[in-house]
Amino acid sequence: MKIELLYWAGCPSHPEALELLQTLLAERGLEANVDLREVRTDEEAQTLHFPGSPTIRVNGRDVDAAGAEGRPALTCRIYHLADGRVSPIPSREQLQEALA
């Protein structure tokens, strides 16, 4: 399993996202490494199709397909939770589904 976590340092959310991701991996007994990649420039955001920080891809698939097509930018990414709330990181359920 290939897991990438792309982040922009200007947004404070990626440590929390990484912690949640690692917790879920441990709960499932998965040994996969998380490939952390910092996105530093607008050009990199364009090249990497980076719609905001954090962006997490499992085997190349964004954990939030709906948000994956957002305009590439150095920004904090918005995730919509099942209960209608907004979050700066994917939900536990979104990550669980992506890891299944």
Residues in contact with other proteins by CB under 8 A are: 10-13, 42, 73-79, 85-88
Q: How far is the CB of 78 from other proteins (least distance, A)?
A: 4
In the bound state with other proteins, the residue whose beta carbon lies nearer, of 35 and 43, is 43
In the bound state with other proteins, the residue whose beta carbon lies nearer, of 13 and 94, is 13
- Check: CB of residue 37 under 8 Å from CB of residue 5: yes
Amino acid in the structure at residue 95: L
In the bound state with other proteins, the residue whose beta carbon lies nearer, of 60 and 85, is 85
- Check: CB of residue 52 under 8 Å from CB of residue 11: yes
- Check: CB of residue 80 under 8 Å from CB of residue 65: no
